[in-house]
């Protein structure tokens, strides 16, 4: 049921606003959707927000602290994303120009 409702209420309206025939609402405002990123990330974010609201806070919050994770690996992953994003944007714009 979640997938059908999410598709109808979240995904389809955002797709229409971005990719709709004749440009759509966002396209009329001058938004460029490189590789479908707006549709993917907005709809995934809305789905994640709804899931967090439905599930609520974790058990024991805020009395029992969460153990820290591996910070060097977190920083390494963030750096790889940060550097790789330049190539991703250039590839989406099909050139190293102002659009990228």
User: Is 14 a residue whose pLDDT tops 70?
Assistant: yes
pLDDT in tens, 38-83: 888 888 888 899 889 999 988 877 788 777 788 899 999 999 998 8
How far is CA 75 from its chain centroid?
20
Nearest alpha carbon to residue 43 among 15, 23, 73: 15
- The answer to whether the predicted template modeling score (pTM) of the entire model surpasses 0.75 is no
Domain-embedded: residue 99: no
- With contact defined as beta carbons under 8 Å apart, do 100 and 92 qualify? yes
Classify residue 45: in a domain, yes or no.
yes
Q: Are 34 and 89 in contact (CB under 8 A)?
A: yes
Give the Cα-Cα-Cα angle 47, 37, 75 (nearest 5 degrees): 80
High-pLDDT (> 70) share of the chain, %:
85
| List of long-range contacts for 15-23, beta carbons under 8 Å, 24+ apart | 15/39
Question: Residue 7 domain-assigned?
Answer: yes
Q: Is residue 93 part of a domain?
A: no
Number of domains, the chain: 1
Q: Is the pLDDT of residue 86 over 70?
A: yes
């Amino acid at each position: 049921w979640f997938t059908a409702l999410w598709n109808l209420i979240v995904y389809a309206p955002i797709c229409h606003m971005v990719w709709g025939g004749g440009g759509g609402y966002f396209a009329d405002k001058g938004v460029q959707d490189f590789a479908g990123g707006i549709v993917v990330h907005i709809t995934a974010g809305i789905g994640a927000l709804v899931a967090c609201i439905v599930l609520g806070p974790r058990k024991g919050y805020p009395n029992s602290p969460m153990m820290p994770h591996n910070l060097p690996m977190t920083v390494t992953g963030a750096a790889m994303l940060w550097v790789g994003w330049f190539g991703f944007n250039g590839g989406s714009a099909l050139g190293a120009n102002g659009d990228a």
